[in-house]
């Protein structure tokens, strides 16, 4: 029973799009650095795109919550 709870605790954050994008960004940066031996500029580009995606998702989520609050008001 405890193992099941631990697995759920580890997997639960993956429900968030921001966490999935962050994880994919870090994995892509590590793969590019250690697997492909690319330049530092490409690594920074990968990280920059990941950050931009996370900020875009946060902005979208904030817009949804503001629209939901606006609809509740008469």
- For residue 21, is pLDDT > 80? yes
What's the pLDDT score for residue 35?
Answer: 84
Domain layout of the chain by residue ranges: 16-72
The answer, yes or no, to whether residue 71 has pLDDT greater than 70, is no
Q: Taking residues 9-16, what's their average pLDDT?
A: 86
Question: Alpha-carbon distance 43 to 64, whole Å?
Answer: 32
pTM to 2 decimal places: 0.71
Average pLDDT, the chain: 85
Q: Which two tokens stand for residue 65?
A: 């919550």
Task: Give dist(CA 72, CA 74) in Å, integer.
Answer: 7
**Token output for 66:** 């503001």
């Amino acid at each position: 029973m405890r193992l099941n709870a631990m697995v759920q605790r580890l997997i639960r954050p993956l429900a968030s799009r921001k966490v999935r994008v962050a994880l994919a960004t870090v994995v892509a940066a590590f793969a590019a650095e250690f697997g492909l031996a690319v330049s530092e500029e490409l690594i920074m580009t990968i990280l920059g795109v990941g950050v931009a995606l996370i900020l875009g998702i946060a902005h979208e989520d904030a817009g949804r919550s503001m629209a939901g609050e606006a609809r509740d008001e008469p």
